[in-house]
Chains A and B, each alone.
Chain A
Amino acid sequence: MATLSADYYDGKRARPHSVRLSLSPAGDALAVEGEGVDRIEPLARVWVSEPMGDAPRLVKFSDGAHCEVRDHAALAVLLEAGGHRDSWVVRLQSRWGWALAAAVIAVAAVASGYRWGLPAVSEWIAFKLPDKALAQMGESTLAFLDDRMLSPSTLPEARQQSLRDAFDGLDVPNGLGADHQIVFRNSRAIGANAFALPDGTIIVTDQMVSLAGHDEEIVAVLAHELGHLGRRHSLRMLIQGSIVGFVAAWYLGDVSNVVAGLPALLLQARYSRDHEREADEYAAALLKANGISPSRLADMLEKMEQSHAAEKSGKEGGASDPFGGYLDSHPATRERIQALEED
């Protein structure tokens, strides 16, 4: 019977003993012989560690002693003769085919988690958050924006109020309402735009008001923002971004926590497409219920796109346009305009 060499440790001292391992003649026991060691253990009471590449395999005994075996080929012969069989997990791990199958499962699970699980979880959390938290988030965001990018509106108070009245005077069909307050701000940096904060604040820039050719266009944009609010889109985006950022930071933990935040930013943009469509549909329904054509929103979208495109082409390179990204996340503007005009 073939024998193989190994290091034996008794579990009481760190001293290695050079030993030979062999199968007993009956084939049901393992013999260990060498310097100061002579033991025969029934195979049923011997435990062999899983193969792990070049790592030594460990043959363990019930009293805490063990052998380190580095001669993998000879051990395989001995194990074969002893009737040892690797666990099914080991067989999965040792074949590239199974590894590939596992990779497909993992990638599919992660991708579907990102595509469906993440939005669902974020939506659930978004509608669970207490109003107090939303108010706080909205206030701090508005304060942050006021500090850096927005300045007080130059529109006369009467003009502001008439726009608010025009919007609040709309007849809101059942289920389409949402708490909101409209504020006006001047911002050359952002240009013609409107956006909704989680607490129901809708910010409209002076540039947007002057870009509109008709008040109904502003009302249409406000309806669109109210659609975002009703579905809590900005909050959901925020939660999604946080979750992606958290997972990425955990996954890339060793690399760096801040760098890990970057992919999260890049991954976020694609969601807004669905959200834009939902908000457009909401706005179209609200406008039609009030006898306003949804094409008012389409007109406004067109003007905004032209205005931002003109701003962009007026400068060299995109690096100096930090807010251009806002419209970049409204990708299929064409598509949206078409859908609204067909409505």
Chain B
Amino acid sequence: MSQSFGTAQAVDFRFSGKGGEYFRIWIVNLALTILTLGIYSAWAKVRRLQYFYRNTSLAGSSFDYHGDPVAILKGRILAVVLLVLYNVAGSANPALGMAVFAMLMLAFPWLAQRSLRFKLHNSSYRGLRFGFDGMVGGAYKVFLLWPAIGYLTLGLLMPVAHQRVKSYQHGSSRYGAGRFGFLAREGGFFGIYFKMLGMLILLGIIAAVLAGGAMSTSALLNLGAAAQEQQQALAGLVVFAMLAFYLAAFLVLGPWFSARIQNLVWNGTTLGEHAFHSRVRARELFVIYLTNFIGIVLTLGLFKPFADVRLARYRLEHMGLNAQGHLDEFMAGRQRGVSATGEEAAEIFDFDISF
């Protein structure tokens, strides 16, 4: 049942995962990881990714994950050893600790590049592996040099740094022998960052006005009250306004930013002559984030697998490929072994780059 497409046909990603199913995998993963003091976590990771990859399909075929649990376990052990060494060195001699920390920072881009290679090399679709050809030098530019420039310019050039990272990730990827391309320019990133900044300022003004209004109201009500109480009321309102500001900023602007970036990045990504499209809506993503958060808090965390499935379904099913002609024409690329060390070491140092 080979599928063929006309000149340009949009095919959407499909996700068939279900919360209840994934819950059982997740909870067994968790229990076995606890019982084996963490050793099972490598197998848990492979099963988790396999569940998500195999339940994701495009044009009638699904994805697959091939990561080797033993390789992942080795990477994790190495990462834990590094972490322990860092702590021992740090407590024995702060200067030595700083040196180790600086070395880890310097190794960061290298780890990130290894991580991307491992992740893509172990992903496949229709029997062909993905791949990553980004060079280590490029990783140093986008993961060290550009963020540094972003900070030095007080965030002004952060959008460029973001664009460079995505360009490095997407532009150096392969599917079989077919190359991905990345067309999104800096302008799109600047637009999103400036709108985000504008909304943050607006939110800040609203919070300040609300706090000010409430303050003067309470001052009117407490006309005869002691100065002490007014002072307390003021401090309380300021704390409350700040809290409301943070909540609003991160619950509303977080999904907005995430949706816009996903759309920008994927609408600018190509594979050969095929182009991706992404139509994630900030409002819908916000509802999912909010209900997921409420669910997780109310169930003391047990809702997490359901939340993961809901988010993955929404994000994936609003993405697709504008296929130009046949998807069948892709050929396998060159294969080479890739160790898991980079990815796991990168992950434990809290450096996850999602593709």
Cβ-defined contact, A9 with B127, below 8 A: yes
Cβ-defined contact, A322 with B232, below 8 A: yes
Taking the nearest CB of chain B, how far is it from the CB of A56, in angstroms? 5
Chain B residues with Cβ below 8 Å from A322 are 232, 235-236, 239
Interface residue total, chain A, C-beta cutoff 8 A: 63
Chain A residues with Cβ below 8 Å from B296 are 251-252, 255
CB < 8 Å neighbour of A7 from B1, B233, B251: B1
Chain A residues with Cβ below 8 Å from B54 are 49, 52, 55-56, 58
B interface majority secondary structure: helix
Report the stretch among A38-46, A102-110, A214-222 that lies at the interface.
A102-110
Taking the nearest CB of chain A, how far is it from the CB of B29, in angstroms? 8
CB < 8 Å neighbour of A54 from B16, B50, B292: B16
Whether, in the assembled complex, A128 has its beta carbon less than 8 Å from a beta carbon of chain B, the answer is yes
Whether, in the assembled complex, A11 has its beta carbon less than 8 Å from a beta carbon of chain B, the answer is yes
| Contact A54 to B23, CB < 8 A, known contacts A252-B293, A322-B239 | no
CB < 8 Å neighbour of A254 from B43, B311, B332: B311
Whether, in the assembled complex, B261 has its beta carbon less than 8 Å from a beta carbon of chain A, the answer is no
Chain B residues with Cβ below 8 Å from A316 are 221
| Contact A66 to B50, CB < 8 A, known contacts A98-B28, A103-B302, A256-B250 | no
* Total inter-chain residue pairs, C-beta < 8 Å: 184
Cβ-defined contact, A321 with B21, below 8 A: no
Interface residue total, chain B, C-beta cutoff 8 A: 74
| Contact A11 to B127, CB < 8 A, known contacts A16-B3, A55-B62, A255-B296 | yes
Tell me the bound Cα distance from A7 to B51 in angstroms. 19
Chain B residues with Cβ below 8 Å from A50 are 47, 50
- Chain B residues with CB under 8 Å of chain A are 1-3, 16-18, 21-25, 27-28, 30-32, 34-35, 43, 47, 50-51, 54-55, 57, 60-62, 64, 91, 125-128, 176, 218, 221, 225, 227-229, 231-233, 235-237, 239-240, 246-247, 249-251, 254, 289, 292-293, 296-297, 300-302, 304, 307-308, 311, 327-332, 350
- Chain A residues with CB under 8 Å of chain B are 7, 9-18, 49-50, 52-56, 58, 64-66, 68, 89, 92-96, 98-99, 101-103, 105-107, 109-110, 128, 148-149, 188-189, 250-252, 254-259, 263, 311, 314-316, 319-323
